[in-house]
């Protein structure tokens, strides 16, 4: 795997759905949103957010609650480490609402399958229309089916 996400293994398939169904309600009950989850090298990493931002105390609070949930439910075989952090400036976009909320910002999107001969699109996010993500790439508006998006991240202006 190449590109900006090469160092992450995003949890996919049944394991991803199991973890989302298990963890998202618990995180939302604490007043946070689950932005993304990743599993790499024995580390389960959760990215959380809330409108006023995320502090170290917030991460600790969520970590303690989620550790208890994971201990009881035991959805991951073997040993692993849980990490909870803020999504950072290059936050992943996972839900349709994420694509609406961040319209006007620069994004990098990777599709599951090539579309018009390419899988990677970088440009300005223009929101969503129906079930398609709108991204302007080099002056051309591209309509990408939400169901075909493998990964999407904001590109911070530095």
Residue with tokens 């946070």: 32
Q: Rounded to an integer, what distance in angstroms lies between the CA atom of residue 21 and that of residue 74?
A: 13
Residue 26: which domain range?
Answer: 13-85
Q: Is the dihedral of CA 115, 120, 124, 127 positive or negative?
A: positive
Please report the pLDDT score of residue 17 as a whole number.
84
Please report the pLDDT score of residue 12 as a whole number.
53
Q: Rounded to an integer, what distance in angstroms lies between the CA atom of residue 107 and that of residue 21?
A: 27
Please report the pLDDT score of residue 3 as a whole number.
39
Cα 64 to chain center, whole Å? 21
Please report the pLDDT score of residue 114 as a whole number.
93
- Same domain? For 47 and 104 the reply is no
Please report the pLDDT score of residue 84 as a whole number.
97
This prediction has a pTM of 0.74
Helix, strand or coil, per DSSP, at residue 148? helix
Please report the pLDDT score of residue 148 as a whole number.
95
Answer yes or no: is 7 within a domain: no
Q: Rounded to an integer, what distance in angstroms lies between the CA atom of residue 7 and that of residue 29?
A: 31
Residue-by-residue pLDDT tens, the chain, 158 positions: 333 333 334 455 678 888 999 999 999 999 999 999 988 788 999 999 998 989 999 999 999 999 999 999 999 888 999 999 999 889 999 899 999 999 999 999 999 999 889 999 999 999 999 999 999 999 999 999 999 999 999 998 87
Residue with tokens 């989302």: 20
- Same domain? For 115 and 52 the reply is no
- Same domain? For 79 and 122 the reply is no
Reading across the β-sheet that carries 149-154, which strands appear in turn?
140-145, 132-137, 118-129, 106-115, 149-154
- Same domain? For 137 and 114 the reply is yes
Residue 18, φ and ψ in degrees, nearest 5:
-60, -50
Cα 36 to chain center, whole Å? 3
Q: Rounded to an integer, what distance in angstroms lies between the CA atom of residue 130 and that of residue 141?
A: 15
- Same domain? For 74 and 100 the reply is no
Which helix or strand (DSSP H or E) is residue 79 part of? Answer: none
């Amino acid at each position: 795997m190449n590109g900006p996400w090469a160092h992450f293994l995003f949890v996919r398939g049944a394991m991803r759905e199991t973890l989302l169904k298990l963890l998202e309600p618990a995180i939302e009950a604490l007043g946070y949103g689950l932005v993304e989850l990743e599993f790499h090298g024995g580390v389960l990493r959760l990215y959380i957010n809330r409108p006023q931002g995320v502090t170290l105390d917030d991460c600790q609070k969520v970590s303690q609650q989620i550790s208890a949930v994971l201990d009881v439910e035991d959805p991951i075989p073997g040993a692993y480490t849980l990490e909870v952090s803020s999504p950072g400036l290059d936050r992943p976009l996972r839900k349709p609402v994420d694509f609406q909320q961040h319209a006007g910002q620069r994004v990098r999107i990777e599709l599951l399958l090539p579309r018009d001969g390419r899988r990677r699109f970088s440009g300005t996010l223009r929101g969503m229309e129906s079930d398609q993500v709108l991204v302007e790439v080099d002056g051309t508006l591209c309509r990408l089916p939400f169901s075909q998006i493998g990964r999407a991240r904001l590109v911070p202006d530095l």
